[in-house]
């Protein structure tokens, strides 16, 4: 597929985030464009990926019924923080082919993500997952702990409370209808039609291809839905992250109706991770406001996440005080990594009024 390019500085500190109290940009500023691709793995499985930037690999996995490109607004803001963002469509979503009938466990979905990362030539990476994506990256990271710099769980369906909910769905299927209703209510509030018409228009344009795809092939979602309902407890994967000292950052909306905030507390406690509560945020606050996630990540870069990146880079032999992007990429990727041929470089677009303050506030429990 065609790709567009972005402009990157030759040297860039991959650790420090932007200044949080910097004035808003009123003039036109450079905005990176994300490149979408469909790649084929060695076993013939087709996978959709969205890529932009240079630096520390940040693998992003979407939630149920959506696709990676839907998070484009937040992802493009993370590029200038020293990340190469790689959004992967999970099996049966976006441009990714579904799994065969023999592969109907969440571990199979997570294994596919791991194979994509291997195919792209990524050796060390930060991984973030929203909702169902959080469950998948937890399982994937548990099998590759030595390569994972940090795990960012965004309103993820993991934790003791969620595991109990899944058991209740099995014995009382009508409760699943209740959950679906709660998530429907949550989804209706994602589009800020009246409070921010401009953002609502942008989000609507991103949603159109996803909704159109579901209308053409609605059965694609049955496999992932059934797999979630029959999934094994997430505690084993979470325990594996703790046992292997993988840093975990749990971001969760305080008003998530479908996945209660309590499950985030369970996850942070079990992994001894950092809990960031997004005040007033629903299940999909990351889509409603594209500024909040980058701002939270910037804060974490100045603290635990930044330290995790420094430790990982130093353990790989990178000891420069101010490494360039090329230095970082030398230890995070294989020399002939396929991801290099997929990443755009050179061009960007100009947008007026791009940066503004996050709509949500948050507090962090350590």
In which domain, by residue range, is 188 found?
28-354
> Dihedrals φ, ψ of 215, to 5°?
-70, -35
Q: Answer whether residue 362 is part of any domain.
A: no
CATH number, domain of 195, equals: 3.40.50.1820
The residue assigned the tokens 């792209």 is: 120
Per-residue model confidence as pLDDT tens digits over 124-160 = 999 999 999 999 999 999 999 999 999 999 999 999 9
Q: What is the pTM for the complete model shown?
A: 0.88
Q: Answer whether residue 365 is part of any domain.
A: no
Query: What token pair was written down for 60?
Result: 């992003």
Q: Answer whether residue 359 is part of any domain.
A: no
Is residue 161 exposed (0-12), middle (13-18) or buried (19+ Cβ within 10 Å)?
middle
As a whole number, mean pLDDT of residues 75-89 equals 93
Q: Answer whether residue 7 is part of any domain.
A: no
Which of 99, 77, 97 lies closest to 31, judged by CA? 77
Residue 321 neighbours by CB distance under 10 Å: 5
Q: Answer whether residue 20 is part of any domain.
A: no
Bridge partners (DSSP) of residue 346 are none
As a whole number, mean pLDDT of residues 23-32 equals 56
Per-residue model confidence as pLDDT tens digits over 312-327 = 999 999 988 888 999 9
Q: Answer whether residue 2 is part of any domain.
A: no
- Please state, in angstroms and as integers, the Cα–Cα distance from residue 157 to each residue in 85, 251, 256, 261, 362, following that order: 22, 12, 11, 11, 20
Q: Answer whether residue 19 is part of any domain.
A: no
> Dihedrals φ, ψ of 79, to 5°?
-60, -45
- Lowest average pLDDT, out of 5-14, 43-52, 185-194, 238-247, goes to 5-14
Q: Answer whether residue 4 is part of any domain.
A: no
Q: How many domains does the chain have?
A: 1
Query: What token pair was written down for 104?
Result: 């109907």
């Amino acid at each position: 597929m065609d790709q567009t390019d972005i402009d990157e500085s030759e040297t860039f500190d991959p650790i420090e985030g932007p200044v949080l109290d910097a004035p808003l940009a009123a003039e036109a500023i450079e905005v990176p464009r994300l490149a979408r691709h469909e790649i084929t793995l060695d076993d013939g499985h087709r996978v959709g990926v969205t890529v932009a930037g240079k630096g520390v690999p940040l693998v992003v996995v979407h939630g149920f019924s959506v696709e990676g490109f839907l998070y484009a607004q937040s992802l493009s803001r993370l590029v200038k923080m020293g990340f190469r963002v790689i959004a992967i469509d999970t099996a049966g979503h976006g441009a990714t082919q579904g799994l065969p009938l023999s592969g109907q466990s969440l571990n199979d979905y997570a294994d596919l993500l791991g194979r994509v990362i291997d195919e792209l030539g990524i050796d060390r990476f930060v991984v973030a997952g929203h909702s169902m994506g959080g469950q998948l990256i937890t399982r994937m990271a548990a099998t590759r702990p030595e390569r994972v710099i940090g795990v960012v769980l965004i309103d993820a369906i993991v934790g003791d409370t969620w595991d109990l909910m899944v058991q209740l769905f099995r014995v009382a299927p009508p409760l699943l209808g209740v959950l679906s209703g709660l998530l429907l209510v949550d989804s209706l509030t994602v589009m800020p039609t009246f409070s921010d018409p401009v953002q609502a228009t942008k989000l609507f344009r991103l949603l159109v291809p996803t909704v159109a795809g579901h209308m053409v092939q609605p059965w694609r979602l049955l496999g992932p839905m059934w797999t979630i309902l029959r999934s094994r407890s997430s505690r084993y994967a979470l325990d594996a992250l703790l046992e292997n000292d993988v840093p975990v950052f749990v971001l969760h909306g305080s008003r998530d109706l479908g996945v209660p905030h309590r499950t985030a507390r369970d996850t942070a406690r079990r992994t001894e991770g950092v809990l960031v509560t997004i005040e007033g945020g629903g299940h999909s606050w990351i889509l409603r406001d594209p500024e909040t996630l980058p701002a939270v990540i910037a804060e974490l870069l100045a603290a635990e996440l930044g330290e995790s990146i420094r430790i990982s880079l130093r353990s790989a032999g990178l000891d420069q005080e101010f490494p360039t992007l090329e230095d970082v990429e030398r230890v995070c990727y294989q020399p002939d990594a396929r991801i290099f041929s997929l990443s755009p470089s050179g061009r960007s677009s100009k947008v007026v009024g791009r940066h503004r303050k996050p709509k949500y506030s948050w507090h962090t429990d350590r």
